Amino acid sequence: MIDELGKLPGVGKRSAERLAMHVLRMDKREASALTRAIEEVKARVKPCTTCHQLSENDPCDICADPRRDGSIVCVVEDSSDIWAFEKNSEYRGRFHVLGGRLSPLKGIGPEDLTIDELLDRIRGGGISEVIIATNPDVDGDATALYLAREIEPLKIAVSRIGLGLPVGGSLEFADHRTLQKALQTRQKLTD
């Protein structure tokens, strides 16, 4: 049990031992409530067949919501990125979860992600713009460029989520790569 608990993120050997000890002290009813909760979630939560985010429903609540704008699709790496948007960003379009990003060093190629599924979804019609919101680092940028090239023949707009100075931040404390990017991504204020 300690070995299995130790595989959870943020749980080292010492924490795994403490968790295991806690489970041993639980009465039988509590312990089976815990295992049942895990088994139920694993049985119920599956990727949405449209956007591939983890959800109890299929289609998921976002894909099923008629008030969301289906013509804009924001492409993210993981389901947790959707939660970041849904918290407060006022984004009203839909999503597509890649299930990671291209990483030649880790042996993750296009076939390991839901790229074919995204292209099929676009070919299905009704989508006018794809916003690629992979993380703003080397692999995320490379994945964005790869996707843009794949989507280009389908004749819809492809954009990259804006990179630059974070809101509320200060120039003085920006690292030089962010400053450089912010100069490149400057926005016209006049015509």
Residues that bind a copy of itself (CB under 8 A): 74, 76-77, 80-81, 84-85, 87-91, 131-133, 135-137, 144-145, 148, 151-152, 157-172, 174-190
**Residue 76: partners with Cβ closer than 8 Å, 6 or more residues away:** 82, 85, 95, 96, 97, 98, 133, 134
Distance of CA 76 to the CA centre of its chain: 4
Name which of 111 and 191 has its Cβ closer to a copy of itself.
191
Q: In the numeric block, which tokens belong to residue 171?
A: 């120039």
CA nearest to 133, candidates 68, 89, 184, 82: 82
In whole angstroms, the minimum distance from the beta carbon of 54 to a copy of itself comes to: 15
In whole angstroms, the minimum distance from the beta carbon of 35 to a copy of itself comes to: 28
Name which of 23 and 163 has its Cβ closer to a copy of itself.
163
In whole angstroms, the minimum distance from the beta carbon of 82 to a copy of itself comes to: 10
Name which of 43 and 170 has its Cβ closer to a copy of itself.
170
End-to-end CA gap in the chain: 65
